[in-house]
Chains A and B, each alone.
Chain A
Amino acid sequence: MFISWCKSAAVPILVLTGSVWAFSVLAAEAASIDTATIEKNRKANEACFACHSAAAINKPPRADLDLGKLKESRLQPEDFTPSDHGVMDCRQCHGRGYDDFPHSVTGKDETSPCTECHAAKVLRLEPQFNGSVHAKAKGLKEKFTCSTCHNAHINIVALKLKEPHKIVAQDNHGCLECHNSDETFAKFSPDGEKTPGVKKKRPDIDTIHEWLPNTRLHWQAVRCVECHTPEVAAGKMLSHEILNKEKAEKKCVTCHSANSSLKTRLYRHMVKDEQQKYGFTNSVILSNSYVIGATRHPLLDSTVIGLVILTLLGVLAHGAIRIICAIRRKENSQ
């Protein structure tokens, strides 16, 4: 489906012509959207939130609403408004079939694909996604769209979120929504490699990560994708090639060392602020997490190593002098 979306959205044409609408949205992404338009969009969205919100489900504004269906499509304005797409009018993506109620039955299928605005990015990420475990498993690729992992209604780009624990919570939620739920996993699950015709059962997330010490602490401090994506060059965006458990990073020192890979991953957007605060290596990481092996104090380390070496040399020298003196005493007594 991911690819068919790209094709159906006539990506090459979009790239060449640069749709005016897409341009306007991209401009909004760059925060250049004017406040009057934002206010206009917000007002327009109020009509949607009148039904598509928890408040409306608790107190339906009209009697003919299908509350079961509505529950699946509810969204809180306070979640949507600060999100990356929060300045947009809902109808910019949900353009057709949503002007009237009841909405058109085909409305959902006619939701604009992400490529309509993010064409260039999708073209760049597509080869990475094609190498991903989500594309390689039989029958899985067709079920995957951007929104399978990225919640377009809520997600905020890392650069804007800034605080690493918020980035971690947001991004891991995307993974755990399927990988920590049998029900959701079953919707996407391909056939087992050794059991054709029988869907692969969701492996228990704790069991498959048993090798990782302090597993739950890791999940609070770092994203699944820190280990489940290949290394990229410093400053580059994280790869969309999601690695399976055989290929995923298992060398702890990749993060737990002075040259920590976290600098090009979770803390990528903060690395430019690195100032070795109070003499600590990777102090931007230390501002959020103490990562043993990565957040060291070189001066303190040198002092400790020096003292241990001095202690060793001290006892060796003392022992050597003792031996020499004992030999001399023995010779003198003879």
Chain B
Amino acid sequence: MSTRIYLLPLWIRIWHWTNALLIVTLAVTGVSLHFADPGLPLVEFSLAARIHDIAGVSLVVAYALFTIANIVSGNWWQYVPKPPGILERCWRQTKWYCLGIFKGEPHPYRVTEEANFNALQALSYWGIMYVVMPVMLATGLLFLFPQFAPDRFFGFDGLLPVAVLHYLTGAAIMMFMIAHIYLGTTGHTATSMFKTMITGWHED
């Protein structure tokens, strides 16, 4: 028998889709800027630079609001992988993604209001939202205000470490985004998780 629970309040859904839109925009313009070349016309450079700046600042604002709302609502607790048996649950989840899913086995983890994420999700979301994302945003802000960046770095311009960190964290978020969108199809049906992210209701 299928169960239906109200899992995602409106603010999380609005934040999620705002975040998604901004990250896709930043990824496209970021690639256009980093790999700029007359033979590779993606988004025109000066336009890409302006869009990237606006979307980047918007992402910082969205992240700040997300952090505040997370603290106020207690949602931050969802991202913390909880013992006991974290490793065991991660292993079970990995096995399901690698084998069980192909055999049509049921999800090894049942979503509840208290714990939305499986152990792997909680770990990866925690890493992305609380480690990678802050580094990407901080380095992005340093790019906007380079007067706060170090002057020199091993004989190079001090913006180099800022740029490399921004590039690598941006690439990590892009890879996360690809995997995240795909794993969104691994719900009860291929579209059920996307529906949950729109309506807030989880069904399984």
Closest 6 CB pairs of A and B: A293-B36, A252-B45, A315-B182, A290-B159, A325-B102, A213-B49
- Cα A137 to Cα B51 in complex, Å, equals 37
Is A329 a contact partner of B104 (Cβ separation < 8 A)? yes
15 residue pairs of the A-B complex, CB under 8 angstroms, read A211-B46, A252-B49, A256-B33, A278-B154, A286-B157, A286-B160, A288-B157, A289-B159, A290-B159, A290-B162, A293-B33, A301-B34, A304-B171, A321-B102, A326-B104
How many residues of A are counted as interface, with CB atoms below 8 angstroms from the partner's CB atoms?
42
Tell me if B127 is interfacial: C-beta within 8 Å of chain A. no
Produce 1/0 per residue, B112-140, CB < 8 A to A.
00000000000000000000000000000
Interface residues of A, dominant DSSP: helix
Give B194 Cβ to nearest chain A Cβ, in Å. 15
- Cα A297 to Cα B53 in complex, Å, equals 23
Is B53 a contact partner of A311 (Cβ separation < 8 A)? no
How many residues of B are counted as interface, with CB atoms below 8 angstroms from the partner's CB atoms?
36
- Cα A287 to Cα B154 in complex, Å, equals 9
Tell me if A277 is interfacial: C-beta within 8 Å of chain B. yes
By a CB distance below 8 angstroms, the chain B residues around A326 are 104
Which residue in chain A gives the minimum CB-CB distance to B175?
A311
Is A253 a contact partner of B37 (Cβ separation < 8 A)? yes
Give B119 Cβ to nearest chain A Cβ, in Å. 19
Is B38 a contact partner of A251 (Cβ separation < 8 A)? yes
* Residues of chain B from 126 to 170 with CB closer than 8 A to chain A in the complex: 146, 154-157, 159-160, 162-164, 167-168
Known interface pairs A217-B146, A256-B36, A256-B45; A286-B156 also in contact (CB < 8 Å): yes
Tell me if B101 is interfacial: C-beta within 8 Å of chain A. yes
Q: Which of A253, A300, A318 contacts B38 (CB 8 A)?
A: A253
Which residue in chain A gives the minimum CB-CB distance to B160?
A290
* Residues of chain A from 253 to 283 with CB closer than 8 A to chain B in the complex: 253-254, 256-258, 277-278, 280, 283
- Cα A141 to Cα B162 in complex, Å, equals 47
Tell me if B57 is interfacial: C-beta within 8 Å of chain A. no
Give A302 Cβ to nearest chain B Cβ, in Å. 12
By a CB distance below 8 angstroms, the chain B residues around A293 are 33-37, 45
By a CB distance below 8 angstroms, the chain A residues around B102 are 321-322, 325
Tell me if A212 is interfacial: C-beta within 8 Å of chain B. yes
Is A315 a contact partner of B163 (Cβ separation < 8 A)? no
For the A-B complex with A301-B34, A301-B35 known, give 13 more contacts whose Cβ atoms are closer than 8 Å: A213-B49, A213-B50, A253-B36, A256-B33, A257-B37, A258-B37, A287-B155, A287-B156, A290-B157, A300-B167, A307-B171, A318-B182, A326-B104
Is B104 a contact partner of A319 (Cβ separation < 8 A)? no
Is A308 a contact partner of B174 (Cβ separation < 8 A)? yes
By a CB distance below 8 angstroms, the chain B residues around A283 are 156
Most buried by B among A213, A289, A301, A312: A213
Most buried by A among B53, B156, B178, B179: B156
Most buried by B among A217, A280, A314, A315: A315
Tell me if B58 is interfacial: C-beta within 8 Å of chain A. no
Interface residues of B, dominant DSSP: helix
Chain B residues in the interface with A (C-beta under 8 A): 33-38, 44-46, 49-50, 53, 97, 101-104, 146, 154-157, 159-160, 162-164, 167-168, 171, 174-175, 178-179, 182, 185
By a CB distance below 8 angstroms, the chain A residues around B97 are 318
Is B36 a contact partner of A257 (Cβ separation < 8 A)? yes
By a CB distance below 8 angstroms, the chain B residues around A308 are 171, 174-175, 178
Tell me if A292 is interfacial: C-beta within 8 Å of chain B. yes
Give B44 Cβ to nearest chain A Cβ, in Å. 8
By a CB distance below 8 angstroms, the chain A residues around B160 are 286, 290, 295
Is B182 a contact partner of A292 (Cβ separation < 8 A)? no
Which residue in chain A gives the minimum CB-CB distance to B170?
A304
Tell me if A85 is interfacial: C-beta within 8 Å of chain B. no
- Cα A252 to Cα B35 in complex, Å, equals 12
Which residue in chain B gives the minimum CB-CB distance to A318?
B182
Produce 1/0 per residue, A302-334, CB < 8 A to B.
001001100110110011011001100100000
- Cα A288 to Cα B157 in complex, Å, equals 5
Is A252 a contact partner of B36 (Cβ separation < 8 A)? yes
Is B185 a contact partner of A319 (Cβ separation < 8 A)? yes
Tell me if A173 is interfacial: C-beta within 8 Å of chain B. no
Give B87 Cβ to nearest chain A Cβ, in Å. 23
Q: Which of A286, A289, A304 contacts B167 (CB 8 A)?
A: A304
Which residue in chain B gives the minimum CB-CB distance to A314?
B179
- Cα A290 to Cα B34 in complex, Å, equals 11
By a CB distance below 8 angstroms, the chain B residues around A304 are 167-168, 171
Tell me if A296 is interfacial: C-beta within 8 Å of chain B. yes
- Cα A296 to Cα B164 in complex, Å, equals 9
By a CB distance below 8 angstroms, the chain A residues around B46 are 211-213, 252
- Cα A251 to Cα B44 in complex, Å, equals 9
- Cα A288 to Cα B151 in complex, Å, equals 10
- Cα A213 to Cα B156 in complex, Å, equals 23
- Cα A297 to Cα B50 in complex, Å, equals 24
